[in-house]
Structure 1
């Protein structure tokens, strides 16, 4: 008997539910508008959240890329500085050797110098064109004013040491 009561209660519940859903009134235009506004609000919230996430990701990627580029630039500058230091040291050593050989050969002394021999040695050297021009100009000034030879030799040595 209890099964029959349970079955009847279940049938009544199903019938009541069907009756409610079948007789439920259509939503009013105001209710439809309110539901549409609610749906649109939810969609805007989701879109704003997605846009915020995308913006955050883009900023993080840009920051990471900028940091990586800065590290690469720093490495390149350090490499260039090391290379330049090595090149300068090599040029300075070459210049010192050139001046020393001129002094040993007597081409460069405080009393005088052999202009043609020194110009030829500068032109044949591996110094930069700018350094060659400056050094030859100093030699020409010494040749024009022999009384300034001591000061010009010092200027010449400083230039060669750069």
Structure 2
């Protein structure tokens, strides 16, 4: 692309020199050599000017391209850093939420044991379901816990196994 621009500039310079030469007042016949030298000098100056302008344009384009590449690299680096920081923050938040849910589930189990609502010998379905519904557990955990309590109510013989399942669910084990 820069060769085409350079060639266009050279052709324009030569054209300008020819135009200049053709529009000169008629030189006396005695001075054809001086006129030829002037024309040659004008063409040389035009070519030098065109070459200099083309060189400056190419240099400018190269500098702009380098700046764009540098800015793009910096932007990509910044985005990667931000993505890493966001991922770390999200992982920390998820860990904190899991720990909070585990604590809530353990507290719920402890309250059932302390109140005597949950043991192999005693099972207070209504009190346990009410405490699950009133808890701050995630809705998904509430549904699963009530499902296990429903299983125990439907088949009291499985209470020991289901209590272990319920404990694993609520404590994240």
Q: TM-score, normalised by structure 1?
A: 0.71
Task: Give the structure with higher Rg (CA).
Answer: 1
1:104 corresponding residue in structure 2: 114
**Counterpart in the other structure of 1:27:** 39
Question: Which residue does the alignment assign to 1:46?
Answer: 56
- Confirm or deny that 1:121 pairs with 2:131: yes
Q: Distance in 1 between matches of 2:51 and 2:86?
A: 52
CA offsets 1:2-37 (integer angstroms, 9 cap, x no match): xxxxxxxxxxxxxxxxxxxxx353426xx84x8766
- Assess if the C-alpha contact under 8 Å between 1:142 and 1:149 holds in 2: yes
Cα distance, 1:59 vs structure 2: 1.5
Q: Who is 1:94 aligned against? A: 104
Deviates more, 1:147-156 or 1:115-124: 147-156
TM-score, normalization by structure 2: 0.67
Question: C-alpha displacement at 1:125, in angstroms?
Answer: 0.6
Residues matched between the structures, number:
139
Task: Name the structure 1 match of 2:70.
Answer: 60
**SS at the partner of 1:27?**
helix
Unaligned runs of 5+ in 1: 1-22
Is the alpha carbon distance of 1:37 and 1:137 closer, same or farther for their aligned partners in structure 2, counting shifts above 3 Å? Answer: farther
Aligned to 1:160: 170
1:82-135 CA distances to partner (integer Å, 9 max, x unpaired)? 222222222211210110110121211134521111110011011111111111
Per-residue deviation, 1:44: 3.7
Q: Please, which runs of 5 or more residues in structure 2 have no aligned partner?
A: 1-33
1:82 corresponding residue in structure 2: 92
Query: Quick one: distance in 2 between partners of 1:79 and 1:70?
Result: 14
